[in-house]
Amino acid sequence: RAAHAALFAGGESLLKVRLLQGVASRLVDGLTRAVTRTVGHIISRSLSRQPTEDYYCYYCKEEELYCSECAISEKQTAVIDNAASVYGAYYGDYYARAYSADLYETFLKEDY
């Protein structure tokens, strides 16, 4: 009974606040990481690839022409994708923790 009274004392539900904080924290954590990693790959590819690279790889697959250029392009793309993964993971994790902490503080201050 004392534990129940402590959880629901003063009209505010500590349990409700903790549940909201937990759900929001996990949601922000997952979305921030996923969006950061996905957008990082999209932007890095769109800013680094040239149309000629697609041309080279198309002709390599269809006509076996320009295969060395296509291979170079594929290697460069792999390096860029790796960098996007590393930085996306780092910043995704960083901002997921930062925004989750902000939500935690918000839920403690707000009246839910």
The answer to whether the CB of 56 falls within 8 A of the CB of 69 is yes
Within a domain: 1: no
The structure's pTM equals 0.61
54-107 residue pLDDT tens: 999 999 999 999 999 999 999 999 999 899 888 888 888 888 777 776 665 665
**Domain span holding position 48:** 13-109
Within a domain: 8: no
Within a domain: 58: yes
16-39 residue pLDDT tens: 767 777 777 778 778 877 888 788
pLDDT of residue 78: 92
Within a domain: 67: yes
- Domains contained in the chain, number: 1
Cα–Cα distance between 21 and 103 in angstroms, integer? 7
Please report the DSSP string for 16-49 in residue order: HHHHHHHHHHHHHHHHHHHHHHHHHHHHHHHHH-
